[in-house]
Structure 1
Amino acid sequence: MRADARKNYDHILAVARDVVAEQGVNASMRDIARRAGVGLATLLRHFPTREAFFEALVCTKLDALTQKADELEMSARPDEALLSWFREWIAFAQGQKGVVAMMAAAHTNPDSALYASCAAVHSAGARLLARAQGEGRARADMNGDDLFGLMSALGWLVDLPSFAPRADHLTHIVASAILANPSSNDVEKAVY
């Protein structure tokens, strides 16, 4: 991709993140193009379908979450790394309404454009969990599938308007359930 085309592509995705955060996955492609200062034809040249557009948007964030897990794995205490990454994932799910349903559908579908990024996030979470378990800081009776399931369930729940005001509290409860013998201070530091 030429440098100017790449710059346009990145700019469209940056604007789209804001629009989708406001309007959810049903945001208008025309509105995204208008707010990005490009024509609809330019948007469609980069992203020929609505699905391709949202997959690219979600993939960039999932890839960033995978990279964040790698960084935390090297720099933080195992329980802090796990909970910090968990919090990042929840913030992503809250900021992109409808994304959890997209990920859940892609998680087991190797034909989906999101599959590889979802698998990488799942694997990153499993690694962080195993590391915390190895230090005795996370429950031993759960695995990466359980963690991914809890994250997805929480992400879906806080996406509902009736539960959104309780998102921080629910995140705190789930984070506490993941840790082995958590102190309230540990969970609060990592989650808030």
Structure 2
Amino acid sequence: MPDTPAVEPRSLRADAQGNLDRLLEVAACTFQRDGADTSMRAIAKAAGVGVGTLYRHFATRDRLIEATYRSEIARLCAAAPELLESSPALDALRTWMNLFVTFMATKDGMGEALRAILVDDDEKMTTRHLLADALGELLSRGVVEGTLRDDIAPYDVLLGIGGITLIAGGAAQSATRNRLLDLLVDGLRTDGPRPRDA
């Protein structure tokens, strides 16, 4: 039996994955801008594919919303080590915070539709742990570099970023949000304020 060529199938799979990634990226931007009620046809057009291609991947809007949410979490988690490859921990951390704000805006854009899909509390906690782990990687590098404190729990920082996003997450509030995020980063620096002894 002749050997089956290996290169071509891998290439096809890579192309298909690339198309899927493009669809999810466009869906995230569209949901963030226009909300969960945007048409599937509009998403397909923005992604440069036919609506039939979109429906072949995602038979319903709910499936697209869920897949977009999971994709954005994966992108945010993957961004931490990628940022550390080219930036010091402080810069990488601040950039990651901006990405988190974008993630939250996308999540808010999917609104009630997403909340109706993600009803499992265990899954929500898993998501929080994944994000805290990614943030922990940034904080740990900063400790090694001597720029970030070693007494900070990643989940506490995650709550801080989330709180800032809740009160100043809108596009018109970017100046306030950036100021608050900068203050948060300042509090994490080794030369930032330390908590008082009890």
- TM-score category, normalised to shorter length: 0.5 to 0.7
Cα distance in 2, alignment partners of residues 123 and 85 from structure 1: 13
Question: In the alignment, what sits opposite 2:96?
Answer: 85
Question: In the alignment, what sits opposite 1:172?
Answer: 182
CA RMSD of aligned residues (A): 3.7
Cα distance in 2, alignment partners of residues 8 and 79 from structure 1: 34
1:124 maps onto 2:134 in alignment = yes
- Amino acid across the alignment from 2:129: A
- Amino acid across the alignment from 1:83: R
Give the TM-score normalised by the residue count of structure 1. 0.67
Gaps in structure 2 of 5+ consecutive residues: 1-8, 193-198
Contact 1:100 1:152 in 2 (8 A): no
Contact 1:73 1:128 in 2 (8 A): yes
Between structure 1 and structure 2, the one with the greater Rg is 2
How many residues are paired up? Answer: 176
Gaps in structure 1 of 5+ consecutive residues: 183-192
1:21 maps onto 2:28 in alignment = no
Question: In the alignment, what sits opposite 2:61?
Answer: 50
- Amino acid across the alignment from 1:138: L
- Amino acid across the alignment from 1:133: V
SS of equivalent to 1:181 = coil
Question: In the alignment, what sits opposite 2:122?
Answer: 110
Question: In the alignment, what sits opposite 1:190?
Answer: none
SS of equivalent to 1:110 = helix
Question: In the alignment, what sits opposite 1:31?
Answer: 42
SS of equivalent to 2:78 = helix
Identity among equivalent positions (%) equals: 24
Contact 2:89 2:145 in 1 (8 A): yes
Q: Structure 1 residues 161 and 73 mapped into 2: Cα distance closer, same or farther (>3 Å)?
A: closer
